[in-house]
Structure 1
Amino acid sequence: MNAPAASPRADVLLWLVAIGFFMQTLDGTIVNTALPAMARSLSVSPLSMQSVVVAYALTMAMLIPASGWLADRFGTRRVFIAALLLFSLGSLLCAISPTLGALAASRVVQGMGGAMLLPVGRLAVLRAYPRERFLQAMNFVTIPGLIGPLIGPTVGGWLVETASWHWIFLINLPVGAIGCLATLRAMPDFRSTPGRFDLAGYLLLAGSMVAISLGLDGLSELGFRHGTVLLLVLLGLVALAAYWLRAARHPAPLFPLTLFKLPSFAVGLIGNLFSRIGSGSMPFLIPLLLQVTVGYTPLQAGLMMIPTAIAGMFVKRIATPLVMRYGYRRLLIFNTVAVGMVIASFSLSGPGTPVWLRVLQLACFGALNSMQFSAMNTLTLKDLEGPQASAGNGLLSMVMMLSMSLGVAAAGGLLTTFTHAVAGESADTPAAAFRYTFATMGCITAASTWVFWQLSQEASSRRAQRGAKAETEAGVSGSG
C-alpha cells in the first residue's frame, strides 16, 4: 500500500486516518465471533447478545450527521483526538464490563468515538490535498476498511481462544495512544465558521432512530410487551414525520428534502435502507449459527467468514462493468432477489452440511452482497452535485449504519420469537429458531426488490456510465 507522494507530514496524516478507519471497521466485526464467549462470561443466553452490536452501530448512525459540523466548529485536530480518546475509553469500559447492560452502555461510548473517526479524517484529507490528488489519497485511506472486515472475525475468534474476549477491546488501547500522539504531530487543525446547527431537527431524527431500534430490540433482549414495542415504533415514525415537516420549512435543514427530488437518490437511499436489513444481520447471525448449532470454536467460526470477505473484495473489481452493461434497474432487481435467496438458504444449513458447501454458500453471499452494495451506493450518489454531494453522502453513511442496527435488532427479535414459538415442539430448538430467522430475513431482503423496480430502465442504462466512479469519488467505497 503506497501512499501518494506528498510531504512527510501529509503522509503521516494519511496513515493516521487509515489506521482510524481500520480501527472503526475492525471493531464492527471483531465482536461477532466472541458473542457466545461473552454470553457465557456474563451468564446470559448467546441468542440475546444483539444489543452489543446494535448499541455500537446505532450510536454511529446517530452521530455521523453531526461529525462534519463539530469538525468545522472545533477543528479537525481536536475532534479527531476526542474521537480516539472516546473510542479508547469505550474499549476499556467494554473490557471491564461486569454485566450485559454495562457492556452495551460501553459500546455506546465506543461508538461515539468511532462515528467521528472516518468523517473527520476524510475532511482533513480533503482540505490537505488538492482536488486532483484527493481520489488517490482516499483510495489509500479506504483500503484498511476492506482489510478490517476480512480479519476481524478471525482475530476475534483467536483472541477468545488464546486469551479471553476482553482482549478484543484491550488491543485498541495502545493503538489509540499512538494515534493521539500522531494526531498532535501530523493532523492539521482545519476549521471554519459553520452555519447554525439544526439541533431540533437532529434530535427528531436521532430520536426516531433510537425509538424504532429500541422497539425492535425490545421484542427479545429487553423483554418489552407488544404494546410497548408498538408504542416505541409509532413514536419513532412520528418523530421521523415531524423531522420531514420541519425540514420542508427550515432554511438550512440537516438534510435538505431537495435531495429526494432526484429519483436515483431517493430509490438508492430507500433501497439501501431496506435491502441492507437482511444482509446487515448476517455478520451477527452466521458466527452464532456456527457456534451454537454446529459446534464450531470461535476461531473456526471466524475463519469461515474469510470466504465472504474475499469474494466481496474480488467482486468490487467487476461491479462497474456489470452495471454499465446491464443498467442499475436490471442488475439490482436480479441481485436483490439473489441475495435474499442466499440468505434464506442458510435455513438449510446444519451440523451435517459439508464444509466445502458451507464455504461456497458464504462466498456466494459475500460476492452478491458486495455487488449489491456497490450498485446501490453508486446509484444513490451518481447524480449529486455541489453542496448536495456532501449532504447526500452523509445521509447515505447514516442509513448504512442504521440499517445494520435495524437488521441485528430484527434478527435478535426473530430468534427470540421463534425460540419461544418452537420450544417443546422441536428436538433442537435453537437450530429451528435459526432456520426460521434466516428464511424470514431472506424474504425481507427479496421483498425490497420493489424499491428498485421503480427505476426507469432507460434512464438507468443511459446514466450507468456516469455513475461508475461516483462511489469512489465520494469516498464511501471502503465502508461497503
Structure 2
Amino acid sequence: MGHRVSTKAAVCVVFVAANFMAIMDTTIVNVALPSIGRDFVVDPSGLSSVNVGYMVALAVSIPVSGWLGNHFGTRSTALTALLLFTVASGLCATAGSLETLTAYRVLQGVGGGLLAPVGMTMMLRAFPVTERLRAQQYVMLPTAIAPALGPVLGGWLVDTASWHWVFLVNLPVGLLALCFGLGALPDFPGESAPRLDTAGFVLAGGGLAAILYALTGAPDRGWGSGAVVVPLVVGAVFLAALVPWELRAKHPMIDLRVLGDELFRTTQLVLLPTGAAFMGVLYLYPQFLQADLGYDAFHSGLATFPEALGMLTATQIVPRLHDRVGPRRLMIGGGAGAAVIIVVLAILTVTPQPLALYPATYLLGASVGLLFASAQNAAFVTIPASRTADATTLLNMQRQTAGAFGVALAGTLAASLAGTGGASAYRIAFFTMAALCLSASLLALRVSDRRVREAYGAAEPRPGPGKVLGRTAGP
C-alpha cells in the first residue's frame, strides 16, 4: 500500500480520522450519561467520573507526547495511541459498572491525549510552510464537525439503540485508520530524546491534570469549594514551577524556548480566549434550546450543527484570502464577527426566533473558523521542523485548558444566575463569551503579517508570473 499512497495523503487520512474520534468523544458521551446512570443505578451527580477520568488522562498524556514521538518515532507513537484509543472504546462498551467504565475512559484519555499533538507534528513535518493552508482544509475537519456531530449522533444512538453504541461507533473508524496507517504511514523522526525529563513530566502532566479536574467540577461544586480551589492552586503552582525547571533542564521534556518565537506566542494568546468562548457557547446553546425552547437532545444537536458547516466554509475561504487580506485581518475580523454573532444569540434568548438561530450559528462557525484557520497556520510558519513537537504539545495544552475554562465559566454563570430567570442567565453568559472573542480580536492586532510573508518568502522562491505567495495561481 505504501508505494501507492503519498506521504501527505497518508498523514492526512490517519490524523483526520484519529483526531475526529478523540474530539467527538468529548461531546458524544455527555448525551449518554443519563442512560448510563439508569443502567448502573447511579445518581446523575455521581457520573462526573466518566468525563473527569477522560479529561485528566488526556491532560497527563499531552505533555509527554512530544518526547514519545521523538524517542519512539511519530509513526509508532501515533499508531500505538490509535490502537489504545480504539481498544479502550470497545472496552467502554462492555463495562458493567461505573468503576470499570471510568477505568476504561482513562485508557481512552491516554490514547486521545497522544493522538492530536503527535498527529499535528506529522502534519507540520509532512507539509512545507507554503502548503499548510491547503492541508488545513482537511485538518480542520475534526475541529469543525466533531464537537457539533457528537450530540446529534449520540442522541440518535442512545434513542435507537443503547449508550454502548456511543463507544462502539469508534471501532470501525479506528480499525480502518489503524490498518491504513500500518501500511501507508511513514515516520517523521525529530531530535533525539535521550531520556525522559521525569520532573518536567510530573510538573506539566500533574499541573494540567489538576487544573482540568478543578475546571471540570467548578460549575457543580462552586468555585469556592475546596475540591476546586485546592487542585486549581496546586495545578497553578506546578505549572509555574515548570517554567524555570524546563528552562534550566539539559534535556527538557517541553522546550519552552519555543515561546520565544513572537508569532507563535501571540497566536496562542489569540487562540486562548477564542477556544474558551467557542466551547462555552457550544455548551450554553444546547442547554438553552432544551431548557427554554423545549428541544430534546437530538434536535438541539441538529440546531447546533450549522456551526460546523460555517467552520468548514471558512476553511475553504481562508486559503483564497490569506495572501490578499493577511492573517492579521482575518483573525481580527473572525474574532469581532464571532463577538457580534454571540451578542445576537444573547438577544435571541429574550425573544427566541428559531429560524434566526440557524443562520446565526452558521455565521458563528464561519467567524471562529476564519480565526482558527488563520491563527493555526500563522503559529507555525516560523517554527523550525525540529521544534514542531514542542510547539504542538504547547498548543494542545492551551487548547484543552481553554476549552475546559470556557465550559466551566459558561456553566457557572448559567447556574449562579439561574435565579434571575433562565433567559437572563443565558444572556449574561453569552455576553461574557462575546467579550472573550472581542479580546481575541484585540490581541490579534499584535500579529505581524510581515513576519508571515517573510517566512513564506524564505520557504519558496520569489513568486513569478502565474504564482501568488504561497501557492500556484489558478484552480
Bin the TM-score by the shorter chain.
Answer: 0.7 to 0.9
One of 63, 67, 74 as aligned partner of 1:69: 67
One of 446, 450, 454 as aligned partner of 1:462: 450
Aligned residue number for residue 157 of structure 1: 155
Which residue identity does 2:159 align to in structure 1? E
Structure 1 contact 217–410 (Cα < 8 Å) conserved:
no
Is 1:348 matched with 2:347? yes
One of 432, 436, 451 as aligned partner of 1:440: 432
Quick one: structure 1 residues 465 and 104, their matched pair in 2 at CA, closer, same or farther if it must change by over 3 Å? Answer: farther
Identity %: 31
Q: Give the drift of 1:266.
A: 1.6
Structure 1 contact 33–287 (Cα < 8 Å) conserved:
no
Deviations for 1:137-193, whole angstroms, at most 9, x for unmatched residues?
Answer: 967973753554564443223212222333111222344455555555555688785
Which residue identity does 2:317 align to in structure 1? I
Aligned residue number for residue 475 of structure 1: none
Q: Give the drift of 1:259.
A: 2.3
One of 152, 162, 168 as aligned partner of 1:170: 168
Quick one: structure 1 residues 111 and 326, their matched pair in 2 at CA, closer, same or farther if it must change by over 3 Å? Answer: same
Say which SS state the counterpart of residue 193 (structure 2) adopts.
coil
Aligned residue number for residue 280 of structure 1: 279
Structure 2 contact 223–229 (Cα < 8 Å) conserved:
no
Which residue identity does 1:170 align to in structure 2? L
Say which SS state the counterpart of residue 336 (structure 1) adopts.
helix
Quick one: structure 1 residues 98 and 225, their matched pair in 2 at CA, closer, same or farther if it must change by over 3 Å? Answer: farther
More deviation, 170-179/285-294:
170-179
Structure 2 contact 274–368 (Cα < 8 Å) conserved:
no
Q: Give the drift of 1:114.
A: 1.8
Aligned residue number for residue 476 of structure 1: none
Quick one: structure 1 residues 184 and 368, their matched pair in 2 at CA, closer, same or farther if it must change by over 3 Å? Answer: closer
Structure 2: distance between partners of 1:68 and 1:25: 19
* Residues 339-378 of structure 1 mapped to structure 2, 5 A cutoff: 339-350=338-349, 353-378=352-377
Say which SS state the counterpart of residue 30 (structure 1) adopts.
helix
Deviations for 1:300-357, whole angstroms, at most 9, x for unmatched residues?
Answer: 2222222111111112233245454454445434432432343343333349623320
* Residues 251-266 of structure 1 mapped to structure 2, 5 A cutoff: 251-266=250-265
* Residues 363-442 of structure 1 mapped to structure 2, 5 A cutoff: 363-419=362-418, 422=419, 426=421, 429=422, 431-442=423-434
Q: Give the drift of 1:360.
A: 1.3
Structure 1 contact 35–288 (Cα < 8 Å) conserved:
no
Deviations for 1:46-89, whole angstroms, at most 9, x for unmatched residues?
Answer: 9x987755654554344233224324444556544532343234
Structure 2: distance between partners of 1:96 and 1:197: 35
Is 1:220 matched with 2:219? yes
Structure 1: distance between partners of 2:133 and 2:437: 34
Normalising by structure 1, we get a TM-score of 0.78
* Residues 96-107 of structure 1 mapped to structure 2, 5 A cutoff: 106-107=104-105
Structure 2: distance between partners of 1:418 and 1:99: 35
Q: Give the drift of 1:206.
A: 1.9
Structure 2 contact 28–166 (Cα < 8 Å) conserved:
yes
Quick one: structure 1 residues 468 and 163, their matched pair in 2 at CA, closer, same or farther if it must change by over 3 Å? Answer: farther
CA-based RMSD of the aligned residues comes to: 4.1
Structure 2 contact 417–425 (Cα < 8 Å) conserved:
yes
Count of residue correspondences: 454
Deviations for 1:234-287, whole angstroms, at most 9, x for unmatched residues?
Answer: 322222221111122123323333323322222111222233111122333322
Structure 2: distance between partners of 1:433 and 1:130: 45
Q: Give the drift of 1:368.
A: 0.8
Gaps of 5+ in 1: 471-480
Say which SS state the counterpart of residue 195 (structure 2) adopts.
coil
* Residues 58-97 of structure 1 mapped to structure 2, 5 A cutoff: 59-74=57-72, 79-95=77-93
Which residue identity does 1:308 align to in structure 2? E
More deviation, 154-163/337-346:
337-346
Which residue identity does 1:462 align to in structure 2? R
Structure 2 contact 121–392 (Cα < 8 Å) conserved:
no
Gaps of 5+ in 2: 459-475
Structure 1 contact 276–403 (Cα < 8 Å) conserved:
yes
Aligned residue number for residue 473 of structure 1: none
Quick one: structure 1 residues 286 and 280, their matched pair in 2 at CA, closer, same or farther if it must change by over 3 Å? Answer: same
More deviation, 353-362/398-407:
398-407
